[in-house]
A and B are shown apart, each in its own frame.
Chain A
Amino acid sequence: MKRFFAFVRKEFYHILRDRRTLLILFGMPLAMVLLFGFALTNEIKNARIAVLDLDHGQHSRQITDRLLSSGYFQLTKTLTAYRDVEATFRQGNVKLVVVFPPNFTRNYAHDGTAQVQLLADASEQNTAISLTNYATNIIQTYRTGAPATEQSPPGAQPPMQITVQPRMVFNPELAGAFVFVPGVMAMVLLLVSALMTSVTIAREKETGTMEVLMVSPLSQIQILFGKMLPYLLLSFLNGVMIIALGVFLLNIPLNGSLGLLLSETLLFIFVALAIGLLISAIADTQLVAMFTSMLAMLLPTIFLSGFLFPIESMPRVLQVISNIIPARHFIIIVKGIMIKGTGLNLLWKPTLILFAMATVLTIVSLRKLKPRLG
């Protein structure tokens, strides 16, 4: 028994002295509980909506107030014409538009029934459904002077009735693939271009062959670019394959320009390669490279890029942090092009951000790799 415990004791030494293991044992559960408990949620709060009030009457204004004071919505834009709705969605900020038709107040007061139309940006179909449900609930329980939570007795016909017409824009069938495919694409590209690149460079350092390469006539630039080139090609093929699978197998639309989509994919691959380069500059072994890639890159991307959890529902701090996650911008671009048919004129901002990221990351990592083994 004694020798057994001697062995167990040694194991504890290993664990306590390994910073990485400690990080996983204590840091990760803490971070995850905090994140999931407070920050990451599928619930919608303060969603950005626009209102198209063609009625300007008492009831439409009061319903709008109810919506905006519910805590679920914030007013981002007031629209004046129906044709502006689709353009508003394309800009990407607004997720729901509430339309009050002309004569809404008159119909409601005199006839007892009126209609409200809800247009939801269904490229994120979970968000769209939730927003529509919340809004419908608030609108339908609207009674002049009565709080929105009052329920009508079962079976009784409410004296005044508002029917809500929801319409899912861009994604009428509410296909879930719309949300996941761009996110999956970002993850795969990061995996191949960043993680694998960093690991392969670290491997040369770890096995000592990097030294031999540096003594050879190969320049450092040639070595690094030579390392990245196969992954660039593989990533691009992967990207094309995912797009093809999405379009042909999952019926995701390709409403925008394929050329633009492929160019943006290439741009994102460059960003990912630069990340891989940076990680390889600080990692001396494959294990460290892999660890750093997972903890510092893949996990934040999963949580903060808008892939699984809507960014709008995160606390302000995380929303700000999410801006430095390249995948966030890439997902916006891909969804914009494929689902909404948006062009570069509206997507120039995330594109420029990705371009800047690629440039900065490349410069920083080349600087770090320059001082050789000395």
Chain B
Amino acid sequence: MDNAVTTNRLTKRFGDFVATDAITFSVAPGEIFGFLGANGAGKTTAMRMLCGLLKPTSGTATVAGFDVYTQSEQIKQVIGYMSQRFSLYDDLTPRENIRFYGGIYGLKRTDLKTKADAIIEELELGSVADKLTGSLPLGWKQQLAFSVALIHEPKVVFLDEPTGGVDPITRRHFWDMIYAAAHRGTTIFVTTHYMDEAEYCDRVSIMVDGQIKALDTPGALKKQFGADSMDGVFQILARGTSTK
């Protein structure tokens, strides 16, 4: 089976500043791949290149088998995206948000209706389905944004710091949804700076200063660095570069 995401020495330079420095990795279909690193380490830049929002400076990458340089239109059809700020319109109702995104991804009317009803039921949004999204609590918005990102059944879903600003229990619920999606075969590519969320991933890469300094399962990494938690692993890595 082809990899869902592959990169080879993918690099992005902004003038003199190297945001992403020749990173190489691949993600298997259905995998939950965590893309970790401190703020400013280059995670968001890397993800932007994979989504087609940014043109790489050099190196290669493919998403769902399509080349990011030449086949960005095909890529857009098969990926989903949830941005840091959740991607929903506050002055539209949940139902209207679902309808909008389903519409721009080309879902047929009847399919859309069925899906919308399913999402609303699954997230228990029945009572607020026709209220403005802006009035919903943050955790509900996150879950809705995630469902909307999956509405066109993409092969890969990119989540850019999806759980910012909510308590650990709400985050845990969100990750239940991620598991369910991965179970159905969707590849999950998630960036986060919450190190405890790293434990939930199948494999994790840790970026420091634009380079991948570690790439393995959480268990293997903890063993390799002799740490109790992913947080510990990260501390060791981060401290290592700061003493240069």
- B118 interface residue, CB < 8 Å from A? no
**What is the bound-complex CA distance between A212 and B77, given in angstroms?**
13
Contacts of A208 in B (CB 8 A): 83-87
**In the bound complex, what is the Cα–Cα distance between A60 and B76 (angstroms)?**
80
Q: Scan residues 96-142 of chain B and give those whose CB is less than 8 A from a CB of chain A.
A: 101, 104-106
Would B81 and A215 count as touching, CB distance under 8 A? yes
Instruction: Give the interface size bracket for A toward B.
Output: 10 to 19
Given A373-B53, A373-B54, answer yes or no on A207-B73 (Cβ-Cβ < 8 Å).
no
Within 8 A of B (CB), among A355-374: 372-374
**Number of A-B residue pairs having CB atoms within 8 Å of each other in the complex:** 51
Closest residue of chain B to A218 (Cβ to Cβ) is B104
Pair B77/A374 contact, Cβ less than 8 Å: no
Interface bits B138-174 vs A (CB < 8 Å: 1, else 0): 0000000000000000000010000000000000000
- 1/0 per residue, CB under 8 A from B, across A176-218: the answer is 0000000000000000000000000000000111011111111
Cβ–Cβ < 8 Å partners of B230 in chain A: none
- Contact between chains at A209 and B89 (CB < 8 Å): yes
Q: When the two chains form their complex, are residues B54 and A212 in contact, meaning their CB atoms are under 8 A apart?
A: no
* A217: B residues at CB distance < 8 A: 73, 76-77, 104-106
Q: Which of A207, A209, A218, A374 contacts B53 (CB under 8 A)?
A: A374
Is B181 located at the chain interface by the 8 A CB criterion? Answer: no
Q: Which of A209, A211, A212, A214 has the most CB of B within 10 A?
A: A212
For residue B52, CB closer than 8 A to chain A, the reply is: yes
Q: A372-B54, A374-B48, A374-B53 are in contact. Are A215 and B79 (CB under 8 A)?
A: yes
Q: Are A207 and B48 in contact (CB under 8 A)?
A: no
User: Taking A372-B54, A373-B53, A374-B53 as contacts, is the C-beta distance between A215 and B89 under 8 angstroms?
Assistant: no
Complex interface: chain A residues within 8 A of B212 (CB): none
B55: A residues at CB distance < 8 A = 374
What are 26 A-B pairs at a CB distance below 8 A? A207-B90, A208-B86, A208-B87, A209-B83, A209-B89, A211-B53, A211-B81, A211-B87, A212-B81, A215-B51, A215-B52, A215-B76, A215-B79, A215-B81, A215-B158, A216-B81, A216-B105, A217-B76, A217-B106, A372-B53, A372-B54, A373-B53, A373-B54, A374-B53, A374-B54, A374-B55
Which B positions have Cβ atoms within 8 angstroms of A? 48, 51-55, 73, 76-77, 79, 81-90, 101, 104-106, 158
| Shortest 9 CB-CB contacts between residues of A and residues of B | A208-B85, A374-B54, A212-B87, A215-B81, A217-B76, A215-B51, A211-B83, A216-B104, A208-B83
